[in-house]
A and B are shown apart, each in its own frame.
Chain A
Amino acid sequence: MAETVHPPISPPATAALSLRGVRVVFGDFVAVDDVDLEVRPREFLCLLGPSGCGKSTLLALMAGFAAPSGGSIEMGGEPITGPGPELGVVFQSSDALFDWLTVADNIAFGPRMRGMSKAERAPIVDEHLRLVGLAGAAGKRPPQLSGGMRQRVQIARVLANSPDIVLMDEPFGALDAQTRTVMQRELDRIWRERQSTVVFVTHDIDEALILSDRIAVMTAGPEAGIKSVYDVTLPRPRDEDTKSYVDLRHRIREDIAVEVVKSLGDRS
């Protein structure tokens, strides 16, 4: 078997990030209810679920942009009190880039804010420009770049800041299908090079299967939670034509389809 399904709670010895009983309430509306999740060190974890299920809300909590209404989120045993350089975030929209800065200066932003000198920053910037394949675009500014290139800048900007955990909120969601596929393969390569701890939000099953060590499937909101967690032990880079890949995709799809039907049923 290429994967196993187990209950959501599976605490390893030391978690990079652990969510316990997390609840998010907006007024009377319970968006997320009772989420338990452990992010293991150096794993690539996908949060997969239908749109509107609260996966981006969960990610915003992990990034420290908001506090949960209930429960706790801890990083290395300490509660998260707010955003900071240890929690890198790649946003869905490239509006998050600084349009007035060059690509190189965008990548240098984090190290500059943390007080590194220009000489200290230069090798970091060069390394990350190369890592994401943008060495030729160092002097350009984000508005001059394609959507795929802008997301490469976002990824390089976060990695250059050496965060403990990288949080990615549907970073390829606004890209066309071809660029998207290329970017997924690129990110897989970058991850294998870096082995950072990544939490990646997506609604695309193939994206999750290409990138993840584990996939946490979410139930449809309201009162969204984690339905099941799949271990993906297929060898990287993932081959979409193997039987085990196809079987796993089939099972996850069924799992999600139930939730989509449920969410549609709620609305009618």
Chain B
Amino acid sequence: MSLVATEQRRTVRKAGYSVISLVAGIALWQLAAWYFGPGLVSSPGTTLQAAIDLTKDGTLIESCLVSLRRILIGWASGIVVGVPLGILMGRVQAIRVLLDPYIEFFRFIPPIAFVTVAIAWFGIGETSKVVLIFYTSVFIITINTIAGVLAINESKLRAAESLGAGKRQTLVSVVLPATIPHVVTGARLALGNSFLTIVSAEIVAAQTGLGSLIWTSRNYGRIDWIFVGIIALGILGYLCDRAIRLIARASLRHYNVKV
């Protein structure tokens, strides 16, 4: 009884701290709004009103859904390409040597540098945005997958060979499952990158999305709308990460995934 009670008290206390932290944060924000004035900082009240207005006319929800859709498609493609690529690069020396220079070159170039060429190459439609999200995801997933492959205990691979597993069987039945914790880490980092990139991807030639909302608001001088867009990005990112962690915990718990 006492153990359960202690556990419950701890949960209540943790929730209490979160509330205190949130209230303190909003208070600081309010102070900053008073100090700097509405031209620089939109106050919590104004921002909330703006959020209500943008929700009522449908802009906010639509922006969130459009951005989320681009992020999920680009990020998922990054996983679909990055994981097999990382496994092959981790296991096959020749492939690693061939592709490593490109990975090490492109992963240092931020997606914003490619915004213009992406639009030129893929048009002003959805493709250019999704490609940029894919670009920002794929290297980080590949590199984490390679790290996971290289971290596999040698005796597991030897055991598989000695039990009669061929090369492909070893890849599918041992290397892939043993690499899953690193893949999940890579996917979470890549999702963070995708949120960083979506604003750049939606700067030019986008009529919809949170990035577009932020950039359009700038043209109208609506700092309160910018604040709404920024906060929506943060909340959306947080929710997505929570979703990944929940899904990973529920479906991958046998693969030593700690999230």
Q: Which residue of chain A has the shortest Cβ distance to B169 in the bound complex?
A: A113
Q: Which residue of chain A has the shortest Cβ distance to B164 in the bound complex?
A: A85
Scan B232-259; emit 1 where CB is below 8 A from any A CB, else 0: 0000000000000000000000111000
Task: Looking at the assembled complex, report how far the CB atom of B233 sits from the nearest CB atom of chain A, in whole angstroms.
Answer: 35
Q: Are B169 and A91 in contact (CB under 8 A)?
A: no
In the complex, chain B residues 165-194 whose Cβ is within 8 Å of any chain A Cβ: 165-166, 169, 173-174, 177-178, 180
Q: A98-B174, A98-B177 are in contact. Are A89 and B162 (CB under 8 A)?
A: yes
B14 within 8 A of A: no
Q: Are B164 and A110 in contact (CB under 8 A)?
A: yes
Q: Are B159 and A100 in contact (CB under 8 A)?
A: no
Q: Are A113 and B156 in contact (CB under 8 A)?
A: no
B163 within 8 A of A: yes
Q: Are B255 and A100 in contact (CB under 8 A)?
A: yes
**Alpha-carbon distance between A83 and B164 when the two chains are bound, in angstroms:** 8
Q: Are B153 and A95 in contact (CB under 8 A)?
A: yes
Task: Looking at the assembled complex, report how far the CB atom of A113 sits from the nearest CB atom of chain B, in whole angstroms.
Answer: 4
**Alpha-carbon distance between A141 and B174 when the two chains are bound, in angstroms:** 15
Q: Are A96 and B173 in contact (CB under 8 A)?
A: no
In the complex, chain A residues 120-160 whose Cβ is within 8 Å of any chain B Cβ: 141, 143, 157-158
Residues of chain B within 8 A (CB-CB) of A93 are 153, 155
B53 within 8 A of A: no
**Alpha-carbon distance between A187 and B74 when the two chains are bound, in angstroms:** 54
**Alpha-carbon distance between A157 and B162 when the two chains are bound, in angstroms:** 11
Task: Looking at the assembled complex, report how far the CB atom of A149 sits from the nearest CB atom of chain B, in whole angstroms.
Answer: 17
**Alpha-carbon distance between A137 and B158 when the two chains are bound, in angstroms:** 25
Q: Which of A82, A95, A99 contacts B155 (CB 8 A)?
A: A95
Q: Are A84 and B161 in contact (CB under 8 A)?
A: yes
Q: Are A96 and B159 in contact (CB under 8 A)?
A: yes
Residues of chain B within 8 A (CB-CB) of A221 are none
Task: Looking at the assembled complex, report how far the CB atom of B254 sits from the nearest CB atom of chain A, in whole angstroms.
Answer: 5
**Secondary structure dominating the interface of B:** helix
Residues of chain A within 8 A (CB-CB) of B180 are 100
Residues of chain A within 8 A (CB-CB) of B174 are 98
**Alpha-carbon distance between A64 and B164 when the two chains are bound, in angstroms:** 12
Q: Which residue of chain A has the shortest Cβ distance to B158 in the bound complex?
A: A65
Q: Which of B155, B162, B169 contacts A88 (CB 8 A)?
A: B162
Residues of chain B within 8 A (CB-CB) of A113 are 160, 163-166, 169, 173
Task: Looking at the assembled complex, report how far the CB atom of A141 sits from the nearest CB atom of chain B, in whole angstroms.
Answer: 6
Most B CB contacts (10 A, CB to CB) among A98, A100, A161 go to A100
Q: Which of A91, A100, A141 contacts B158 (CB 8 A)?
A: A91
A87 within 8 A of B: yes
Not counting A95-B155, A99-B254, A100-B255, a sample of 18 additional A-B residue pairs whose C-beta atoms are within 8 angstroms of each other reads A63-B158, A88-B162, A88-B163, A89-B158, A89-B159, A91-B159, A93-B153, A93-B155, A96-B158, A96-B159, A98-B159, A98-B174, A99-B256, A100-B177, A113-B160, A113-B166, A113-B169, A141-B254
The 4 closest A-B pairs by CB, nearest first: A85-B164, A110-B163, A96-B155, A83-B161
30 examples of A-B residue contacts, CB within 8 angstroms:
A63-B158, A65-B158, A83-B161, A84-B162, A85-B162, A89-B162, A91-B158, A95-B153, A96-B156, A96-B158, A97-B156, A98-B156, A98-B159, A98-B174, A99-B254, A99-B256, A100-B177, A100-B178, A100-B254, A109-B173, A110-B163, A110-B164, A113-B160, A113-B164, A113-B173, A143-B256, A157-B163, A158-B162, A158-B163, A161-B163
Q: Which residues of B contact A (CB under 8 A)?
A: 153, 155-156, 158-166, 169, 173-174, 177-178, 180, 254-256
Q: Which residues of A contact B (CB under 8 A)?
A: 63-65, 82-85, 87-89, 91, 93, 95-100, 109-110, 113-114, 141, 143, 157-158, 161
